[in-house]
Structure 1
Amino acid sequence: MLCLLSSSSTSHVLSLYKIFSLQSLILTRPSSHLPFSTMSINLSSHAFAGNPIISKTPKPSDPFSPNSAFQTLKTLLSSHTHEPSSPNFKVLPFRKGRPLARSTGDLAPNWHLGWLSLGDCKTLLENSEVNLIEESLVYLGSKSEDDVVYWAIDVSEASGLVNELGSRQFCFVELRTLMVATDWVDARAMGELAIAGHARALLEWHNISRFCGHCGGKTVPMEAGRRKQCSNESCKKRIYPRVDPVVIMLVIDRENDRALLSKQSRFVPRMWSCLAGFIEPGESLEEAVRRETWEETGIEVGEVIYHSSQPWPVGPSSMPCQLMVGFFAYAKSLEINVDKEELEDAKWQSREDVKKALALAEYKKAQKTSATKVDHMCKGVEKGQSLSADFNVESGELAPMFFPGPFAIAHHLISSWANQVGVNGVEAKQPTSSLSSL
């Protein structure tokens, strides 16, 4: 996580690690393997999880519910009033998949989402000759205690907004850049990242589901954009937001002292990560882990144990609704046969080498650099420092390898195995059985 150069900094990193936890998960070795009693991991919500505005859906009669809020929205837009409403509406614009953001500009820059009032959003769009209609807004959630309902809108067609918002020190920023720039120990920042990820996934789903896959008819938003319906009277098929499940697994050898790590051609130099792959129809999660591992590396997997899951809205634009489902997978064979069409390379890495790479990689430095980049973008400064150069040892030499940062589930799969982190440092008792081996 951070650069580990002393026992005090090691303690600090373990403390930060425990912040990432929603649930306690007990990870065990099969009895046929050499002793590795247990690891118990306390993970807080991963990046893009823990969305603070979608924890509960209000009842239909509640003014904060999607349908009630949508009716209020229609009334406000048809009355041409800019008067404040209750609940108050805040709108997050997106342009080509990029959310609007701003920066505090403090000594330690921190980004925030660029929320606009409904009236401000309407005026800005009218200045760009775009008419704001209620169907273009997508319901994101609400906070009744703050009397606020949150919406997202795609403003890609309103090109004039870029300069106008730029004059206010707002900028449309890639979600991946915001992901790296987010201080993962800042609950507010993690919450805003989750909101942005949810909004991007919903808006992209709207963009790619404009027509019914059953009859080809045009689809129309329903329930404030939370679903769509075919407009063909003889069809009227309901369409719901898609989720694309992906298994991601850290494969571990029999002795539990090596992990199988892979490199893809699209990775930056020296970066290694876990294996991953999409789930096939009619396939269980455990079967997908075994199949993908075999197809990509020729390694046969036995027991598969669940770790945690993470929404991942920063994949390709056509697949912003991925759900990463993380596992530990225990190898039954060791010989690697890499599928070069899938991977550039795959190697067994020792626990000590993995721990060393985690200790040397300057994830916090990359986070600060990216936050500064966002700050510069919001202020109109075009040049930014390359992030790939920030995973170096402090001496200035290149680290032999590094892994995705704390914003990725791969990081937590790798670091939890390497450090065998237990709850408060105490190993948990081993469960009597596991369905994962079925």
Structure 2
Amino acid sequence: MLLFRPSFSSLLSLANPFLLSSISRPLAMATSHAFAGNPLKSCLKPESLTPFLLSSEENDSSNPDRFLILPIRKGRPLARTDDSNPPRWKLGWLDSTRLKEVAVKGDEFVYLGSDDKTEGCQCHYWSIDLSEGNREWGEGMAFVELRTLMVATDWADADSMGQLAIAGHARALLEWHGLTKFCGSCGTKMVPTSAGRRKQCTNDSCKKRIYPRVDPVVIMLVIDKENDRALLSRQSRFVPRMWSCLAGFIEPGESLEEAVRRETLEETGIEVGEVIYHSSQPWPVGPSSMPCQLMVGFFAYAKSLDIHVDKKELEDAQWHSREEVKKAITFTEYEKAQKSTAVKVDQACKGVGQGPHGFSFNDYALESGEMAPMFIPGPFAIAHHLISTWVNQDVPVTGESGTSLKRMNSLSNL
């Protein structure tokens, strides 16, 4: 279900000093986490808009509202780029009249939200999965991997971050529809209702309703306060030299804090005491079996220090000093990687070269041209903000124990 989120103008006016300071200089300032801060808002009954969507014609004076549609093919949103330097990508919205060329039904569209009505006209945004076709929708546009768009996004530009949030929401919603074709109770086919915001079983004796779900994932930076160190880990799927935070799924009947302690103990043998909330981030670029994840970030204080890595879960885990991590963040060229990936998206939209134009971690290099000896994920990931917050400032301590301590401030609390 699409919930109202503050506009980017209000986000900027409430610019959060915590999140803005969490990125090492000289990086530009982020206005929100990647995929957060969706600028669209939901109307009360979007299903009432479907008939107008299907019957809309150009220059229809009886219905001044506009209907724009974002096609997605195999999880890739349609994108285009502008003529700025470096180029900025934008979503490839199509007018609803364009899709009359394709045999689609009303229940194949999913409602994403609407913008504020201006000059008597309101724009309603929809998405549709067109994975089965190979039709090109216009010169200068291409279907681009969402992860590539994520890295190519200028995290200091509010409009670009809003485009990314919309794209993430659209992909997660369509992926959920693709995974829920049959009823989990009786096995009968399910059909979309409420403009794609829920599904219902077609069996009259069942009629089970389901809604899009979110898989919560805890992600934590474990801190050795006494020795001023942080615990970073590597998975076998990571590219060489990349280190990040521990993370894991929540088990039934488990609190977020309990999940942090259990996952840390299982994967590294480290016992954790105090657990402190940092912020949360939608993550629609996870595996296709779990397309709608919510990353919930924490700081966790270690009670033991001896590491015993579970090799089935991790390749390695090590304590890293504050200075070591700070150096890795300072010299890793995140902004350069963002700009080079933006150029690759521009090339894809212009049809330059063959195959996908994705992000390569080889774009993370030192100014000398040498590869960074160690780096952490870029500012598009909550792991970056957890780690850089610890590097650049003292982490405030909260109170599961009931003590009166400072609370972490974040955009997700707005």
TM-score tier, shorter chain, comes to 0.7 to 0.9
- Out of 352, 360, 364, the position equivalent to 1:387 is 360
How big is the shift at 1:22?
6.8
1:137 aligned to which of 109, 124, 131: 109
Q: Does residue 265 in structure 1 map to residue 236 in structure 2?
A: yes
Q: Aligned partners of 2:286, 2:236: CA distance in 1, in Å?
A: 16
Q: CA deviation at 1:69?
A: 1.3
In structure 2, the residue matched to 1:153 is 128
CA distance in 2, matches of 1:21, 1:435: 19
1:53 corresponds to 2:40:
yes
Would you say the 8 A contact 1:262–1:347 is kept in 2? yes
Letter in 1 for 2:64: S
TM-score, normalised by the number of residues in structure 1: 0.81
Distance 2:59 2:258 in 1: 56
| Contact 2:30 2:156 survives alignment (8 Å) | no
In 1, the alpha carbon distance for the partners of 2:258 and 2:100 equals: 50
Corresponding residue of 1:249:
220
- Equivalent position amino acid for 1:405 in 2: G
SS in 2 for 1:46: coil
2:202 aligned residue (214, 223, 231): 231
Native 8 Å contact 1:19 1:43 kept in 2: no
CA deviations on 1:391-435 (whole Å, 9 max, x unpaired) are: 11101222221010000000000000000079xxxx999994479
The percent identity for this pair of structures is 64
Work out the CA distance in 2 between the residues paired with 1:187 and 1:266.
Answer: 32
TM-score for both structures, normalised by structure 2: 0.86
Contact 1:251 1:329 (8 Å CA) reproduced: yes
Give structure 2 stretches of 5+ with no counterpart.
1-10, 20-28, 408-414
Which of 106, 112, 125 lines up with 2:90 in the alignment? 112
Aligned with 1:370 (options 341, 351, 365): 341
Task: Verify: 1:316 aligned to 2:287, yes or no.
Answer: yes
Question: Is the alpha carbon distance of 1:385 and 1:151 closer, same or farther for their aligned partners in structure 2, counting shifts above 3 Å?
Answer: closer
Query: CA separation in 1, counterparts of 2:13 and 2:276?
Result: 19
Shift of 1:260: 0.2
Alpha carbons of 1:83 and 1:217: their partners in 2 closer, same or farther (altered >3 Å)?
A: farther
Secondary structure of the corresponding residue to residue 145 of structure 1:
coil
For 1:55-204, list aligned pairs within 5 A.
57-60=42-45, 66-74=46-54, 76=55, 81-84=57-60, 85-123=63-101, 125=102, 131-146=103-118, 147-159=122-134, 161=135, 164-165=136-137, 168-204=139-175
Name the counterpart of 1:302.
273
In structure 1, how many angstroms separate the alpha carbons of the residues matched to 2:196 and 2:342? 32
How many residues were matched structurally?
Answer: 379
**Deviation digits for residues 345-382 of structure 1, max 9, x if unmatched?**
00000000011011000000000010000000001112
4+ residue runs over 6 A deviation: 18-22, 427-431
Alpha carbons 2:176, 2:212 under 8 Å: kept? yes
Q: Which runs of 5+ in 1 are unaligned?
A: 1-17, 27-41, 61-65, 126-130
Are 1:274 and 2:245 counterparts? yes
- Mapped to 1, the partners of 2:165 and 2:228 lie a distance apart of 35
The match for 1:411 is: 384
1:101 touches 1:114 (CA, 8 Å); kept in 2? yes
Are positions 1:326 and 2:297 aligned together? yes
- Relative to 1, partners in 2 of residues 1:357 and 1:182: Cα closer, same or farther, differing over 3 Å? same
Q: Name the CA distance, whole Å, in 1 between partners of 2:274 and 2:371.
A: 36
Partner of residue 373, structure 2: 400
Quick check: 1:24–1:43 contact (8 Å CA) kept in 2? Answer: no
Of 294, 312, 322, which aligns to 1:351? 322
Q: 1:225 to 1:419 in 2, by over 3 A?
A: same
Q: Which residue of structure 2 aligns with residue 31 of structure 1?
A: none
Does the CA contact (< 8 Å) of 1:20 and 1:46 recur in 2?
no
- Tell me the distance in 1 between the aligned counterparts of 2:18 and 2:86: 35
Distance 1:361 1:20, change over 3 A: farther
Report SS of the residue matched to 2:117: helix
| Cα gap change, 1:304 to 1:429, in 2 (>3 Å) | closer
Task: Specify whether residues 178 and 257 from structure 1 end up closer, same or farther in structure 2 by C-alpha distance, changes over 3 A only.
Answer: same
CA, structure 1 residues 320+279, in 2 after alignment: closer, same or farther (shift >3 Å)?
A: same
**RMSD of aligned C-alpha atoms?**
2.6
Cα distance change, pair 398–25 in 1 and its aligned pair in 2 (3 A): closer
Structure 1 Cα separation of the partners of residues 59 and 371 of structure 2: 57
Residues 19-58 of structure 1 aligned to structure 2 (within 5 Å): 44-54=31-41, 57-58=42-43
